[in-house]
Structure formats: structure tokens, C-alpha cells
Structure 1
């Protein structure tokens, strides 16, 4: 598929993206002002790197968010365009079989033969009309049935008010000359000033021996009605999308909104592109065009399905509403999945945190410089400015994190929506397919041969053979059935279409559905078995559709016909056709689909571990779904998170409709993998050990007469502080040289300016032997009175508050005998925040004490 680039004209419609862009722009202005003030005041804080790094990440996230925003809308349009054309083609495939079968109907043949001999009676005319009526009652997708003689004269039609076809219509000659199994033609004409459309299927009718042409039969498909049904189920009233069907010349032959895209208009269509922008009637649309995938070799009339939406309404959806009901903890975990997000996307929050840590170091060092070298009046202003710089960094980081969260939620919501849509398509395909089964069984129950032979007092072996031949002929045309069975009024099997089931001949059917068949009151009634194991399907689970066979006088039931749906391969084919697909239109690896009935028993599954007939316990909430309702959620199955879309069946036309006594709610579930549970948990655990941005910009206690400034930092989760007069600055650890025979708590030597200083690993000294950080820093400590100078490894930097003596409590008495704790005091700050205060000498003494103890142990050994 051709990938189109994003353009400024298109991205100007991304409301959420533009809102974020506006927030980032406002912060950039704030950075400009702060940079100027910092330069004028001499704070010692360098911000240019921070501004540039934040800007780079922001632009990167906005780019990804724009792409995913477009992808989400394009995916929605793609699904709709796909369903428009593929549902129609699936329907039309059934029509191609109908016309071939109906053209061999003995009643039709006999009628034409009598007509050619000019011996038709009024009763025969009425009988033919009744025959057509019965067919149309079963197959309600047809609006008219038309019969021509061999010369092209129209001699009978079900609806005489229609004038789509008339005497000597060209379709008659086409059918007579063709050796194809059907002729398919689209008619568009004016009827009472309105455009009238019909899709006609035609086939020549020949004598029973096949030698003599008798006429041509035409079935007129309810084209407008069918497209209205598809559009209604596909596009809600609040949806700005427009669905259209295009012919080979790109002319609109059906539209869900004729006021936006009128019939007959020629519009742009690009089936080889993922999406495109088209202008029509002064308005710009985002569009997706789809060709038919075909069904069992039938590709349809060559039409295209297209979905389009005005650009001004294309990107107004929000993600939060869609994922609001999903467990927040599970959603958070899924949003750290390397299966659906690249490492570059997953690392963005970490990059932003690292940038903020670098900014914190600059601000922290600026505070240290102000504390040690600037007078008090200027110091207060500078510290306030530095605090605002840190605040602005935090705000920038938060905006980036919000954008990343929106990006993650957009990606996940696309997968949830796609699963939900595929589930709807699955039940739609299933109901449409089973609608045909209900039609078939009622129509075949009216077969003259069956009614005549079963109506006799004694059914001979020759009668059984003739009925078997008819069943075989039907089954060869309609391969979705494993077997067709005719039984008499006592339930004895008279004939089967599949010779593998000859052992059923003579058996008396005792099944509950067989008994109900004899209770049907009209030719419109039918029964369906429960989905259960049956010897009629090799002891596997399936549905059996049955209808009564009535005497030719219509006064009594003389038997019945049962059609055994070949459920295993047929349901599998339906589910495989709706499996989620990736950007290259290939099935998503690891995805699977399931049909579950109202009793939460599996009807079909594409997952090997989920077997037919087993209880489905994974998502019990589906039992509460009413007909036509849907849900989507995230579920865990076999150590994998899945986006799950579920949709309950809602019938098709009159099948399972208000007037149909048959009810059977089936739920389709589509599972799209989101990532391995163990892999995601491992990543989250690793990320939780990374310590970033402990800097609290809101913790700033004002200078007082007796106050003293303390530089604070974090070692793992321990908050510690030291008087600023002992601190030179915080530096990166990139020049640290490790020493193989150093004391346990000496991490190595660090080149600091023109000196080499030892670095204490304070985390190990405090008992935090294993801690991680992407941005570990060294705080350089110096006591000028003793010429002591060394470095401390710290996890993150904290604030530099003013503390008064009454906030500080000595710890010496509390920690007597505790050799590993270098603390000399604690300070209570900001309610429950506890700060451990140390001195340079106490830290160094503790390191030396441990080293001496270690050497003594070695001597004793």
C-alpha cells in the first residue's frame, strides 16, 4: 500500500495534537523569559541544553501522536469501507447459487413447457404466482422474480408494478448465449421520477433433459434495501462518516448520505492507498477505498467500497472516554508493552526524566553557587528564579508525559476498536450466513418431488432413490451442508445426500427438533436444533435446520427435511475472515477469534487450546450482553494481555427478528495480543528501580536570621542533606576510574577539574547494595578547615532549603552501636518529610572506620 506523508494542512485538523503544541509553545516562551532573567541575574544555571532537548522530544512525540491520530481515523474508515464491499459481495455470492438452482426448478420448467404448448390454465398461472411468492417470502432479499419465454417475451413476474425488465430485454439474449453459471447485470433507471436501481441475476431455463431451451428466469436483488441495511448497521446517527459504493467508473451507486455525496456523482477513489484527501462540493474529505477480497472465488461486479469523513470532523474523538472503563493498572501495564510500542517510544518518558534530572543538576549547582558566593538580597531573588526554572522544567516534562500517555492510549484504543469492529463483522457474517440456511430448508421443503412421494401411502425404493438424487443435486450446489436428510411423518429417514451417512437410512429420528418440525403451522415456519453433538454430524457439534414437508393439498404434514450445517469448517472460515490485520493487511500474529453461545459454550475457535463445546470462562461479562450490544476490554489469557472486542448477534432481516420465533444469541470475540505479562512486568520492575527527579520545586523555605542552607540529595529512597558550605557542585560520573583493591565503600577515583578525588558509594554504606539509575551523579564535598575533599554517589538531587535550629534533632544517641549509619541529625520538613543530615567529616570517618575494620578482619584471618 502507498503511504502518504503527513502535511501541515492535514495536521491542522488534529485538535488534541494542536492543543499540546500550543501548551509546548507557551512553555517555550516561558523558557525564553527565564533564560534572559538567568543571564541578567547570573544564577549560574545553564538552560540551553535543556530547552533544546525538551524541544527535540516534544517534536518527536507530537509527530508520533499525529501519525497515530491519523492512523486511528484511517483504520475506522478502512474497516467501514471493507465491510461495505465485502458484506455485499458475500450476499451476492449466495445469489449466484440461487439463480442456478431456481432455474432448474421443475415447477418452472413445467410452466414454461405448458406455455410453449399454449395449454396454460388459470390454475397453473395462479400456482406459478404462488410459487414465486413462496420463494420471495423465504428469500426476502429479492424484490421481484421475472420469467421470460425463449423468444424474450415477459410472461410472468411477481411484482407487475415494476418495469425494470420488459419484453425482449438484452439480458435474455445474454443468458441464452452464456455458458456461465449466471448472468449478473446492474440496472439503473427512472421510475416515477426517481432513480431506481436493481441488480439482476439471470439464467436460462432448459427442459429436464437439458436439450431444449424453454426461457430465462431473472431474480431481482433488493440493491437499495441491502445497502441501506449495511449503512444503517455501520454508521450511527452521530457519526460524520459517509459510506459509498462505487461502480467501475467511480460513479456513486449507493450513499449513506445523499445530501453530502449524491447518487450519480463521480468521485475520487484510490484503492491502492492507505488513505487520501479528496475534495467534493467545496469540502475536503479523508477517504479510504477498498476492493472486494472476494468470497470462494466470487469477486463481485467489480465495485468499490469507500468511507469518507469531512476533515473538520475527522479527528475530534478522545481516547480517555474509550478506555475509561478499563482497569487502570492493566491499562498502565499494557502501555509499557514492547510488542505494540517500539523501544524509542517506550523510552521517551525516561528521556524526559533524564533531561529534567540534568536541569535539576544545573539548578542545584546554581543554588550552591548562589549560597556560597552571592549576598543574601540577590540570593533570594536568584533562588526564586531557579525554583521557577525547575518548575518550568517539571511542567514541560508533565506535558511530554501527557502527550506520551495520549499516544499510548491512542495506539491501544485503535486495537480495541479494531477488535470490536471485527467482532461485529463476525456476527454479521454469521447471521447472514445462517439466514440463508433458514431460507434453504423452508424452500426445499416445498420441492414437488418430496411432497408428492412422501404423500403416498407407501414410499417405494424407487421413490427413495429419486429423493436421494434430488438431495445429492442440491448438496452439490450448496456445499455448506455436510448432509441433507428427508424423513417421513413418523421420523424415519427416507433419503440422505451424503453416502457416508447411509447407515441413517431407516433410522427413526428421536431428537427434540424433529418433534417440533411436525408442529410447524405454515410454510414460513422452521426449527433449529441446539448446538450439540449429534450422530447426524459424526458425533460432533452443529446446528440442524428442519422444516415440514406438506402434502400437495397443503392440508397435512407428510414428513420433513433436515439440513446438517457443516459447522466446523464453515464457522472456522467465518472467524478466519475477520481476524485482525496489520498495516500490510496480514493477519496479526497471535490473534484469535471465538464464537460463544448464550450458555457460554464454545461454538468455534481459531485457538487450538479453546475447543468446541467447552465452557468459556475467560470473559463472563459477555453473558449480560443483549442482542446487538458490544463491549471491549483487556483480558489476560495464557500469560498474554489481549485487546478483546465482543459483539452479540442481532439477526439479519427477518431472521431472528421480531416476527421470528427463533432466538439464538451468539457472541463473537476477537483477541488481539498486546504483550506478554511476564515481559511487561519485568520491564515495569526494572523501570521502578530507576530514580529520577526527586527534586521538589515547591519545597522552598524562606531565609531567616537563624537559618542555614542545606544541599539535599537522595541515595536510593533515603533523603539526605549537608550544609551548602561543604558542597562544591554536582557532576556526572563519566570520568570515574574504579580501583580493584579499594575499600568496600570507595567506588573509585574521579577526575575533578585538576584533581583526582575518591568517591564514596553511599548506597552500599546505607545497605542499599542494589540500586539503579540512568543518571547517577557525584556530589563533590569539601571541608576547607581540614582540606578534606571527596565525592558522593547520589541517585538524585533534592532541594536546597533553609532550616532553623529548632527543626533539627541530633541522632548520635539514637544510633550508638550502629556502624553503618553516618547520620548526625534529622530534620522534619513539609509535614512528614524526614531529612537525614550529615557532615563531611562524619561521612569520611564512617568510610575510614569500615575500611579499618575490614583490614583488621583480614589480619585476623
Structure 2
């Protein structure tokens, strides 16, 4: 595959992305205005670095979001294009086996031999009609059955109204000249002015000794009906996607919406690209084309599946239906998973918070500068301007976080949709496969030799050998069966196809399905065993399909046939075919799939923990699903989050349909890993402990006559403050030098201007073991009267409120003898939590006392 570059023309259709881009542009205009006003007013706040950093992150997120938006739609189209062609190819594979077997039917041979001898009577005509009708009743995928003699004359067809098959039809010539196992032929024509399409399979009929050609048998597949069924299950009424089937010349031979994409036109198709844009009838479409995957050696007629959607509707799908039922807390955690998101994407919210934190530092310093050096009138304007700068930063950060959340949800929803799609594909594959099993057993029960031999008063050794020979021949053609068994009316095994089960011959079958077989009332009836271990399948669990064998007179049941589905490899192959794949079409590592029955017993699984027959207790709610219903969720298994898609089987054609007595609800589950629980929790815990600058200049702007401004900051979760007149600014730690034998609360010395100043570790002083921050900040404090200048490490910057005296309660009103405590007062603010106020002298006094104690201990 060749990844396609995202063009501006295509990106113009991304409504959600463009809404975000519009908000970003509006904020950029606001930044321009604020920058000019700040420059003219001299607020002391520098914004250029902030603007550049925000723009860089915004553009990166918009690019990622655009790419994932495109990938989401392309992934949906890819799934549908694959399903169109692969489901059809699996169906046609069964048809290639049908024609080869039906061409050896004794009734068909007998009719052709009598025709060659001129001995066909009205009774013979009636018998062949009945035979064809019985076949079509079982294999309802065929709309017509026709028989030619070796001269190319049409001898008989099931649907006499068909006008497409005539003497010397092209398919007759192809089959008569071919030694291949089958001839596959598709053609289009018109009947009464309307287009008609037919896909036919033909095979030469030869004498029982194989020496003489007798004629050609032709099966006409319900091509149009089958594609309509695929499209109907694949595309909902509200979906703008169009499913297309293209022939080897890129002509449209089937369309889910012929009003938009008519049959017969030629379309652009490209299997080498992940997606492409095509124009048709003045409209642009996003398209994906897929070749058929080879199925058991059969690759089909060379056709292609294509899915396409008008560009104006391609990227408007809402994700809310996909994630609305997901637990919000689980979804939040999954969106921090390094398994599905790169480290650069996961770090974007943190980078945005860091940028806002740096902006807040600049605004905080601007406020400090305004407080100390600007007159009141200009100060109020400047503080309002600084407030707007900080708010604009918050808005920019929120837009970025919103884009990132949308990006994360888009990626997760793609994985949920993929799991759901593959679950539906799994039940489609399973039911279509088992539909054939129900057909096979009923048809083989009508085998003339079986009915004739079992109708005899006593079976001879020759009868048994003949039955065994036929069973072996059938089993050689139909390898999905482990064994075929014919038994008499009493349930005694007469013959088997697999020599490994020869010990079953002459034994009595006591399984309950044998009794139900004898209760069938028509040639359309069949029975299926429970999925359970059986000696007929080496004591492993499987389904056994059975049908009664009737006497040639049709009045009585003389025995039955049971076909043992080779469930272990067959179900495994189905489940392996629906393992989710990534963008490079590689199976997603750690994914696994299951079939589970209504009793929540595992039928088959690709995960070693879920063995056949085990109870499936992980998601008991799936048993509430009705046929055809689906669900998707995020589940936890073995400390891993999984996107889980579940789909309840809904049958195929009449199999498990309204007219079928057989019911067997099976669920397909697709698990796609989203991340390790412990790893995600550790990341979230670490991120939650990072404290960013919380400065919100909107608060506490009122300036009463007797109030003072306080610069506040955080150390861990402790909110502290000091009069703003003692604060110079907040700076980043750049070059800290530790001092030997210094006070326990002195972190070291740090350059400040042309000086070096001591730095106090407030976290240690307050008893915090440590605190987390992406970068350590230093608040520089100066008390000129006391000749003190030092810095304190802080976790984050807070507000700069005005506080009146009546809002402050000194600590010594609560406790005695606390003069050495750096906290001197408490301010209880309704807008925030409790604020502890300090002064420079008491804070430095605490350091001095610590130094004295350390010196005294050293002298002991």
C-alpha cells in the first residue's frame, strides 16, 4: 500500500477539524490585539514565545486530527470493500464444489443416457424436474438449473420462463471443451428491455465409468439477489456509503445505489492505494478498492470490491453513538494509553499546560511589576489587560485540549468500529458456512444408492461397500467434514467416510439427534446436534448435521445420514480470518476472537485462555442480545483494556430464518488491545501530581483602601502567600549549586541578575517528602529593610489577591510560641481554599534556626 498525502482540498471537507481551526484563527487575532495593547501599555508580560508555542502545538494537533479523521473514514470504506468481495468469493467457492458433485448425480446421468437412447418418457421428464426442484429447494442460491446434450441442445431447465439459456449457449461450449473441475461464466444481457445478469457454473456430465461424455449441467447462481443481500447487511439506510462490485475491466456489475453509480459504467479503481478520490457525474467520492483474498485456493473471477462515499458526507459521522455507552472513566483512562497513542501525542496536553503555565508566570510577574512600580489608575487597566491575556491563553489551551480529546476519541472509535465490523463479518462467515452444511446433508440424504440399499430387506456387503465408496468420494470433495456416517432406521452405523472411525460400523448411535432425525416429516427437514463432545469426533465438541434417508417410494424413513463438521480447524480458520488488522494490513498484536453460544460456552477461540467448552464469564450481558444485534464496549481482561465488538448471528437466507425450525444463537466477539491497565494508571497518577501554574487574574481584582496585594503560590497542595511588595518575580531554575553543610532547608545557591541568592526548599520545610513539577520555579523575595534577598522553590504560581485586614487571622491568635514558624497568618477566602500567609523575616528566621541546630549537632 502507498499512503496518500492529505491534500488541502480534501481537508476542506473535515467539518469538525475546520471548526477547531476557525476557533484557533479567532484566538490568533485576539493574540495580535493583546500583543499590541501590552506593548503600548508596558504591562511587563512577554507573549511572543507563548503565541509561537501555542501555534506550533495547534498546527500539530490539527494535522494529526485531520489524518485520523481521514483514516477513520478510509478504514470504514476498507472494511466494506473487503466484505463485498470476500463474502462473495467464499460463496462462489462453494458453488465450484456443487457443480462438480451434481454433475456425477445418478439421476442426471440416467436421464442423459435415456435421452441418447431416445427413451425419455413423460415420467422421466417429471423425475428430472422433481430432482432439479429438490436440489434448488436445498441450495436456494440457484435461480435455475439447465441440462444440455452433447450436441448443445437444451434438454431441460428448471425455470422454463428463463430466456437467457438457449441451444448452443456459450457456457455449453466452454464446459464441453474443458477438463477443469468447473467452468465459471458471467454475462449480461437484456430481457424485455431490462438488464439481466447471470453467473453460471457448468460441468460436463460423463458416464459412471468416466469414459463417455453425456451432456453439460449448468447451475445459475442468484447473482443479483446475493449482492443485494450483502449490500443490505453491510450498508444501513442512513449510510451514504455505496458498495460496488467491479469486473476485471473495472465495469460496475453490482451497485448498492444504482441511482448514484449505475450498473455498466466504468469506474476508477486502484488496489495499490489506501484510498483515492474519484469524480463521477459531477461529484467527488472518496474510494477504496480491494482485491479478493484467496480462499482455499480459489480467488474468484478477478473481480474487485469497492466502497465509495460522496466527499460532502464522508467525514460527518458522529462518534457519540460509538462512545456514548462506554464508561466515561474507562474511556478517559484508555485515552492515555501509550499502546495506541505515540508519546508525542500523549504529551500534547502536558505541553499545552506547560505553555499556559509559562504564560501565567509572565502574567504573574507582570502583575507583581504593576503592583510595585505603577500608579493605581494605570495599574487597574494593566491588570485587566493581563487578565485578558491569561484568559486568552486558557481559551487556547482549552481548544487544544478539545482537539486532542477529539483526536483520542477518533482513534478509539476506529478501534471499536473495527472490532464491531469484524464481529459482524465473523457471524456472516459462520452462518454462510453452516448454511451449506444444512444443504449438503439434506441433498446427500436423497442419494439414489443410499435410498435403494437401505430400502432392501437386508443390506449386503456389496451394498455397504457401495455406500462407503460414495461417502469417501463426497468427503474427498467436501473437506470441511471430519466424517460422514450412514445409519439404518435403528441407528446402527452402516458406513463411514473416514477410515479412522471404522470401529463405529455396526455400533448403535444413541445420541438424541438420531431420534429427532426419524421424526422429520419432509425432505426439507434436517436436525443439528448440540455443540458438545462426541465420540463421533474423537470426543471433541462439534455440530453434527443429520437428515433422514427415505425409501425410493418416499413413504417411509429407512435410515439417516450424519455429517460431522470438522469444527476445530474450520472455526479456527473463520476466527483467524477476522483478526483485526492495522493500517498496514497486519494483524493487531494481542487481538483475539471467539465464538460463544447462548449458554455462554466457548465454541472456538484464538486465545489459549478460552478453551472450547469453557464458561465465558467476561461479558455475561451478551446473552441479552437478540439475533442480529450488536454491542461494543471496553472490557478489562488480564490487566489489559480491550475494545470489544460483539455481534449475534442472524442466519443466512432461510437458514435460521422464519421458516426454519433450527435456532442456535451464537455470538462473535472481537478483542483488540487498548493498553495495559497498570501502565495507564501509573501515567495518570504521575500526570495528576504535576502541578501547573494556577494563576487566574480574574479573581480578587477589587482594591479596597486598606487592602494589600499578596503574591500566592503552591508547594505541593499547600497554598501559600506573601505580600506582593516583598516579591520581585518568579523565575525558572537554571543553574542551582548545592552548598556543603548548609541548613537543611537550603537547596543551594542560584544566580539572579549579577548576584547569587540562597534558595529555600519549602517542600522540605513544610514536611512534604517531595513534589512533582515539569520545571521548578523560584519566587524571588526581597525585604530591603531587613537586608534579605532569597528565593523559594514553588510548585506553581497562584492568584495575586487584594486582602483586607479583617480577612486575615494571625497564627498567634490560635497558638503560643510559634514565632519561628514561617506561617504567620491564615486568610479564609470563599473563592479558594485556605491561604497561609508568610513574611520574609519569619521565613528566613526558620532557616537560621535550622542552621544553628545543624552546627550544634556537628559539634557534639
User: Do both proteins adopt the same fold according to a TM-score greater than 0.5, normalized to the shorter chain?
Assistant: yes
Contact 1:146 1:217 in 2 (8 A): yes
Which whole-Å CA distance do the structure 2 matches of 1:51 and 1:413 have between them? 32
Which whole-Å CA distance do the structure 2 matches of 1:821 and 1:346 have between them? 42
Q: Secondary structure at the match of 1:236?
A: coil
**Shift in Å, 1:83:** 0.1
Which whole-Å CA distance do the structure 2 matches of 1:815 and 1:462 have between them? 112
Contact 1:766 1:821 in 2 (8 A): no
Aligned residues: 860
Question: Partner residue of 1:662?
Answer: 662
Contact 1:275 1:287 in 2 (8 A): yes
1:303-314 equivalent positions in 2, closer than 5 A: 303-314=303-314
Which whole-Å CA distance do the structure 2 matches of 1:439 and 1:544 have between them? 13
**Shift in Å, 1:740:** 4.2
Which whole-Å CA distance do the structure 1 matches of 2:263 and 2:742 have between them? 85
**Shift in Å, 1:164:** 2.0
**Shift in Å, 1:741:** 3.5
Which whole-Å CA distance do the structure 1 matches of 2:442 and 2:815 have between them? 92
1:259-278 equivalent positions in 2, closer than 5 A: 259-278=259-278
Which whole-Å CA distance do the structure 1 matches of 2:809 and 2:726 have between them? 20
1:65-214 equivalent positions in 2, closer than 5 A: 65-214=65-214
Contact 1:713 1:796 in 2 (8 A): yes
Relative to structure 1, is the Cα distance of residues 777 and 577 closer, same or farther in structure 2, using a 3 angstrom cutoff?
Answer: same
Contact 2:820 2:842 in 1 (8 A): no
Contact 2:455 2:551 in 1 (8 A): yes
Which whole-Å CA distance do the structure 2 matches of 1:472 and 1:693 have between them? 80
1:287 aligned onto 2:295: no
Relative to structure 1, is the Cα distance of residues 792 and 486 closer, same or farther in structure 2, using a 3 angstrom cutoff?
Answer: same
**Shift in Å, 1:854:** 2.7
Question: Partner residue of 2:408?
Answer: 408
Question: Partner residue of 1:25?
Answer: 25
Question: Partner residue of 2:8?
Answer: 8
**TM-superposition CA deviations, 1:400-440 (whole Å, max 9, x none):** 00100000000000000000000000000000000000000
Q: Secondary structure at the match of 1:394?
A: helix
Q: Root-mean-square deviation (CA), in Å? A: 1.1
Contact 1:710 1:800 in 2 (8 A): yes
**Shift in Å, 1:831:** 4.3
**Shift in Å, 1:33:** 1.2
Q: Secondary structure at the match of 1:824?
A: strand
More deviation, 679-688/69-78: 679-688
Question: Partner residue of 1:361?
Answer: 361
**Shift in Å, 1:344:** 0.3
Contact 1:357 1:775 in 2 (8 A): no
Q: Secondary structure at the match of 1:812?
A: helix
1:717 aligned onto 2:717: yes
Which whole-Å CA distance do the structure 2 matches of 1:509 and 1:312 have between them? 63
Question: Partner residue of 2:370?
Answer: 370
Contact 2:275 2:288 in 1 (8 A): yes
Relative to structure 1, is the Cα distance of residues 564 and 358 closer, same or farther in structure 2, using a 3 angstrom cutoff?
Answer: same
Question: Partner residue of 2:591?
Answer: 591
**Shift in Å, 1:103:** 0.4
Q: Secondary structure at the match of 1:185?
A: strand
Which whole-Å CA distance do the structure 1 matches of 2:304 and 2:154 have between them? 33
Question: Partner residue of 1:492?
Answer: 492
**Shift in Å, 1:738:** 2.5
1:519-668 equivalent positions in 2, closer than 5 A: 519-668=519-668
Which whole-Å CA distance do the structure 2 matches of 1:581 and 1:494 have between them? 47
Which whole-Å CA distance do the structure 1 matches of 2:60 and 2:392 have between them? 20
**Shift in Å, 1:301:** 0.4
Question: Partner residue of 2:835?
Answer: 835
Q: Secondary structure at the match of 1:371?
A: helix
Q: Secondary structure at the match of 1:582?
A: coil
Question: Partner residue of 1:350?
Answer: 350
Q: Secondary structure at the match of 1:645?
A: strand
**Shift in Å, 1:812:** 2.7
1:311-330 equivalent positions in 2, closer than 5 A: 311-330=311-330
**Shift in Å, 1:36:** 1.2
Q: Secondary structure at the match of 2:612?
A: coil
**Shift in Å, 1:321:** 3.2
**Shift in Å, 1:775:** 2.5
**TM-superposition CA deviations, 1:587-608 (whole Å, max 9, x none):** 1111000000000000000001
**TM-superposition CA deviations, 1:791-822 (whole Å, max 9, x none):** 11011111111110000011135355679952
Q: Secondary structure at the match of 1:381?
A: helix
1:45 aligned onto 2:45: yes
Relative to structure 1, is the Cα distance of residues 123 and 142 closer, same or farther in structure 2, using a 3 angstrom cutoff?
Answer: same
Question: Partner residue of 1:518?
Answer: 518
Question: Partner residue of 1:776?
Answer: 776
1:703 aligned onto 2:703: yes
More deviation, 734-743/173-182: 734-743
Q: Secondary structure at the match of 1:722?
A: strand
Which whole-Å CA distance do the structure 1 matches of 2:528 and 2:698 have between them? 71
Q: Secondary structure at the match of 1:530?
A: coil
**TM-superposition CA deviations, 1:733-782 (whole Å, max 9, x none):** 01222234432211111110100001011011111122110022100000
Q: Secondary structure at the match of 1:737?
A: coil
Which whole-Å CA distance do the structure 2 matches of 1:820 and 1:513 have between them? 91
Task: Could you tell me which runs of 5 or more consecutive residues in structure 1 were left unpaired when the two chains were aligned.
Answer: none
Q: Secondary structure at the match of 1:204?
A: strand
**TM-superposition CA deviations, 1:473-527 (whole Å, max 9, x none):** 0000000000000000001000000011111111111111110000001000000
Contact 1:815 1:821 in 2 (8 A): no
Which whole-Å CA distance do the structure 1 matches of 2:258 and 2:709 have between them? 74
Relative to structure 1, is the Cα distance of residues 538 and 824 closer, same or farther in structure 2, using a 3 angstrom cutoff?
Answer: same
**Shift in Å, 1:125:** 0.8
Task: Could you tell me which runs of 5 or more consecutive residues in structure 2 were left unpaired when the two chains were aligned.
Answer: none
Q: Secondary structure at the match of 2:812?
A: coil
Contact 2:364 2:695 in 1 (8 A): no
Which whole-Å CA distance do the structure 2 matches of 1:818 and 1:80 have between them? 75
More deviation, 829-838/626-635: 829-838
1:741-820 equivalent positions in 2, closer than 5 A: 741-816=741-816
Q: Secondary structure at the match of 2:778?
A: strand
Contact 2:812 2:818 in 1 (8 A): no
Which whole-Å CA distance do the structure 1 matches of 2:489 and 2:421 have between them? 45
User: What TM-score do you get using the length of structure 1 for normalisation?
Assistant: 0.99
Which whole-Å CA distance do the structure 1 matches of 2:817 and 2:67 have between them? 61
**Shift in Å, 1:858:** 3.2
